[in-house]
Structure 1
């Protein structure tokens, strides 16, 4: 069976690695570590197809150590013990380098079994993960390792790699591959920063191309079919899920309806309207808040409509709610107020209620205060009277500060009016 194009084109040197200039360019941290010849324990974190395995292989091939490879998806404790058993043998006299792909799939006990050996230097660990290592990897392993983040590769960085891949296919198969700059660009932009996905798309595009007179021409029509969903970098349980939701939330908060619609569209295209709707309900209260209180029932109505309609029609009320919130005035005063109140709950013991707010109790003999003495606001002008409501220890605490928007300033002026009339 022929090896995939992605493996045939895999770089053999750091100079050939696509992207990752932030850690692999001249004088950047990982480049300097690799060139020093001293390999520490490392964790490579980033999405699939961006070079984590490639860089690990380059390190292994240039360090002179005995290389062992395990994959967290199928490695067992006995596999790890087999690696440990080779410590000190003739074949490992220059040390053992263990490349552990998808380390997040190993359980805590399996990860713990490596601790003693990576700490004393018997094993040098290079692990890779597509999930945030600070959540997915055992903390003791993290503390003994240096984490390097790999980022999606840009389309511009992908173009030379795609051209090289097409050239390799042409040389191997004895025919010329015709691909316009537009085709190369379309492949580059359709793969979401995933080099492996770009190589696979290029390979399939050649296979599906139009063959004539020793030449294969990649057509737009075939590429459209191959690449129409290949740029969807989305994992409902992974970092990408939370990154998209975070970007969406911050775009609405920042009043950028276009960016908000972009991230919403990515969630809709992935079929995840549940997460999107939940975040929209949160934004209505957290970020629009009291500046436009009607956003809450309106967004709720749009969410209900979206969930009843289902896709594809759900996009309509979702878009309406997003644009409404992004273009509405913003206030986080309610959010800040409840957070401040919760901080007091954490720091204060259970405080007594003011006597006049308690439910009516029987005053026994010897009671210091007889009667409740609650002032019923509706018995007073404007249905308002000043009295203490907070516990004594917090009686002067202020949690809520009126926002500067029209809605809250109107409420502020009304409050001032009541207070001014009390002073008359």
Structure 2
């Protein structure tokens, strides 16, 4: 048995040993009788794997990987409790290859290179090939993922990586292209139900010591939400409660009482991921910078992926700050880049700076509501043909079809704006964007009616703030390209002055 810094390297003989008992199996600690119920109930073979039938067809990549018939590298993508780690255990137990397991939470480039170098030495000396399992690979930085490329390319190691995040965003393209991507789905209710029943009767589980009422079973199935680990953890908590009461059956009341216990055991960091994330976003939206920093700290201490936090900041910058402070998006994007470039723990400074900026910035959701309304119209089938003047006219014969006819070039007008129809006929007069009076958007709210007036050929509106309320403006008739605008000289001058930067805000 060899030992590397962060993990145990199982020799082929160990990999063929039993799933339970002392010692280790293929780099994983062997399962003891005191292990949690989800661990004890891990399938011992692919035939026991439930709920991923699309991966279990004869000759499928997963079966080839477990059987050792093909040295293909695989990325397993699926939600928590869908079977990713279980599959890794099956590969470790079934193969005669050297199996190394590590977590991206604790491993670094040095550790990866040590495994690869050992694999090269063993291959040169005629030893068994190496399978490298990396759990939560999305937590590896780009540099850490880069360190895997050459070894995966020349098959020095066969990579088996697991992730709960979309690999098209969290795994670098060169590594993704060298691997087969297998998507695991959340288990359906029937699969969770069958695994609960197996756990009740199986010797590895509760061994028939208790019975599970139908109502309690349905409660646990609903609680799981497709996460079998969550279901089995709740079942174990309910079984412990029933046993303590001297009851040989788990009824609905016992199962309901066990839910809180299960949640604590399942949420090992002490923070509910989605609740804390929601509190974080709502604190920034509410401009409570101190609360936002508290929730940021909670996520960082709990081990939340800094890239997840950064993505939320980039979204928030447009969703909740938007045009009230257009610089917010640049700040959030810079913080996201810093997270990738610097990494934790130093990147917490970049995240904190971005959070302070976003929480104290003026707020506007006008971009959110504007694109939402536009998308709703498109999905409802509104919006006809592209106006002829806007159609592509660069190819031979386009003019003969009327494409580009009547188009007016805005830069030919001294104001840089002309009267012209830009929307389909059934959307004439629609106002998707309704600016707020907050921050930098106040100047947009003043300028926008003037722009719309010129474009639509309407009389200049009286100076006012943002359009009140929501809803759709009444449709108006089309605008003739040759019609002169009726915007008065004062409004025209203001448009020109604003374009020249002469108007003070």
Once the two structures are superposed, the pairs formed by residues 6-405 of structure 1 within 5 Å of their partners are 6-26=38-58, 28-31=60-63, 34-35=66-67, 37-86=69-118, 87-89=120-122, 93-168=127-202, 176-209=209-242, 215-227=247-259, 234=274, 236=277, 284-289=369-374, 353-357=411-415, 389=418, 399-403=422-426
Q: Is the 8 A contact 2:52 2:185 kept in 1?
A: yes
Q: Please give the alpha-carbon distance, in whole angstroms, between the structure 2 residues aligned to 1:28 and 1:89.
A: 28
Q: Is the 8 A contact 1:73 1:102 kept in 2?
A: yes
In the TM superposition, residue 330 of structure 1 has moved relative to its aligned partner by: 5.3
Q: What is the CA deviation profile of residues 138-196 of structure 1, one whole-angstrom value per residue up to 9, with x for unaligned ones?
A: 22211211111111111111111111212247x87787212112211211111121111
In the TM superposition, residue 219 of structure 1 has moved relative to its aligned partner by: 3.1
Q: Is the 8 A contact 1:66 1:92 kept in 2?
A: no
> CA separation of 1:145/1:164 partners in 2, compared to 1, >3 Å: closer, same or farther?
same
Q: Please give the alpha-carbon distance, in whole angstroms, between the structure 2 residues aligned to 1:289 and 1:173.
A: 55
In the TM superposition, residue 220 of structure 1 has moved relative to its aligned partner by: 2.1
User: What is the root-mean-square deviation of aligned Cα atoms in Å?
Assistant: 4.4
In the TM superposition, residue 331 of structure 1 has moved relative to its aligned partner by: 7.4
Q: Is the 8 A contact 2:122 2:128 kept in 1?
A: no
Q: Is the 8 A contact 1:287 1:330 kept in 2?
A: no
Q: TM (normalized to structure 1)?
A: 0.59
Q: Does 1:411 align with 2:475?
A: yes
Alignment size in residue pairs: 301
Q: Please give the alpha-carbon distance, in whole angstroms, between the structure 2 residues aligned to 1:204 and 1:165.
A: 13
Q: Please give the alpha-carbon distance, in whole angstroms, between the structure 2 residues aligned to 1:332 and 1:101.
A: 47
> CA separation of 1:158/1:143 partners in 2, compared to 1, >3 Å: closer, same or farther?
same
Structure with more helix by fraction: 1
Flag structure 1 segments of 5+ consecutive residues without an equivalent: 246-273, 293-328, 342-350, 359-387, 391-395, 420-424
In the TM superposition, residue 287 of structure 1 has moved relative to its aligned partner by: 4.1
Q: Is the 8 A contact 1:211 1:217 kept in 2?
A: no
Q: Please give the alpha-carbon distance, in whole angstroms, between the structure 2 residues aligned to 1:198 and 1:65.
A: 33
Higher relative contact order (CA 8 A, sep 6+): 1
> CA separation of 1:357/1:174 partners in 2, compared to 1, >3 Å: closer, same or farther?
closer
Q: Please give the alpha-carbon distance, in whole angstroms, between the structure 2 residues aligned to 1:35 and 1:282.
A: 53
Tell me which residue corresponds to 1:375: none
In the TM superposition, residue 28 of structure 1 has moved relative to its aligned partner by: 4.8
Which deviates the most, 101-110 or 278-287?
278-287
Q: Is the 8 A contact 1:176 1:216 kept in 2?
A: yes
In the TM superposition, residue 106 of structure 1 has moved relative to its aligned partner by: 1.7
